[in-house]
């Protein structure tokens, strides 16, 4: 395993219980991690993933659920500030991978699926957006700083 800090409670054959690609890892602590989703159609797309193999938000103690939501808001705010998207989509599905994780997807009215969900059939052909791609190092840095600075109370650090 590339990073032994990532897994707490491993689910059988669960892809989110394995260490993420270090090239995609934006930030982590003992509780959760943030990865960039490498999708050229969706620059800035991130996932916030708890390390413990649980399925639902309400399985978390309230303090941890609250902390996770604060991280979610901090990442969303960084996405808004840096990318200035038309919309942010937040989704926690887990039907295929029942390991608690949030999708944070900056949306633009000219993206492949807008106004549908990114998992729908595409509405238009892919189109590169180098101006958005160029902002990703800045975005990832802003997410890292925002997450690092967020007070985590008594949670494991």
72 vs 98, which CB is nearer to Zn ion? 98
- Closest contact distance (angstroms) between CB of 6 and Zn ion is 10
81 vs 92, which CB is nearer to Zn ion? 92
Interface with Zn ion in residues 95-134 (CB under 5 A): 99
Q: Which of 3, 11, 19, 65 binds Zn ion (CB under 5 A)?
A: 11
Q: Can residue 94 be called a binding residue for Zn ion (CB under 5 A)?
A: no
Residue among 7, 42, 32, 35 nearest 21 (CA): 35
Q: Which of 18, 19, 53, 70 binds Zn ion (CB under 5 A)?
A: 53
Residue among 117, 130, 125 nearest 43 (CA): 130
Give the side-chain half-sphere CA count within 13 A for 59.
Answer: 10
Q: Can residue 16 be called a binding residue for Zn ion (CB under 5 A)?
A: yes
Residue among 69, 35, 53 nearest 155 (CA): 69
Q: Rounded distance, CA 122 to CA 8, Å?
A: 37
Give contact residues for Zn ion (rule: CB under 5 A). 11, 14, 16-17, 53, 99
């Amino acid at each position: 395993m590339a990073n032994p800090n990532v897994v707490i409670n491993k689910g059988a054959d669960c892809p989110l219980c394995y260490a993420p690609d270090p090239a995609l890892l934006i930030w982590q602590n003992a509780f959760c991690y943030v990865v960039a989703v490498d999708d050229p159609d969706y620059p800035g797309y991130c996932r916030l993933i708890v390390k413990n193999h649980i399925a639902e938000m309400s399985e978390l103690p309230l303090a941890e659920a609250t902390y996770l939501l604060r991280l979610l808001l901090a990442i969303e705010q960084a996405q808004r500030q840096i990318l200035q998207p038309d919309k942010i989509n937040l989704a926690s599905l887990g039907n295929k991978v029942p390991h608690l994780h949030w999708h944070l997807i900056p949306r633009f009215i000219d993206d492949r699926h807008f106004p549908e969900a990114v998992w729908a059939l595409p509405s238009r052909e892919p189109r590169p957006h180098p101006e958005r791609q160029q902002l990703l190092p800045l975005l990832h840095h802003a997410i890292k700083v925002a997450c690092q600075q967020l007070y985590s109370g008594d949670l494991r650090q």
